[in-house]
Amino acid sequence: MTPNRPPGMTPEEAIFEVREQMATLTAVLIGVPNTDDTGLVGAVKEDRKNLDQTRKKVGKLELKVWLLIGLLSGTGILGGFGLANILTP
């Protein structure tokens, strides 16, 4: 097995560099400890909550649209029957 380190770098330096990269990646993903930063994971959780709220709003809007369509078509049918009754002797 060959080591995966740049030429001229000691094993300790390679380990330190990998550790620093892992710490940076951890900070990006889960945020900086003891701060308000939630990282990428927190942003995804927040977006999921916003998506759930949006879905609820769309569901309510869809229900209102179908009620409006039913109301308009119902009054149109009733108006048509009333007009037919007036016009026929």
| Tens of pLDDT, residues 8-40 | 788 888 888 889 989 888 888 888 888 888 888
- Please, which pLDDT band fits residue 85 given cuts at 50, 70 and 90? confident
Contacts of 17 (CB under 8 A, 6+ apart): 9
Which residue did the predictor score with more confidence, 60 or 86? 60
Task: Work out the burial of residue 31: count CB atoms within 10 Å of its CB; fewer than 13 is exposed, 13-18 middle, 19 or more buried.
Answer: middle
pLDDT reported for residue 55: 92
- Please, which pLDDT band fits residue 60 given cuts at 50, 70 and 90? very high
- The answer, yes or no, to whether residue 5 has pLDDT greater than 70, is no
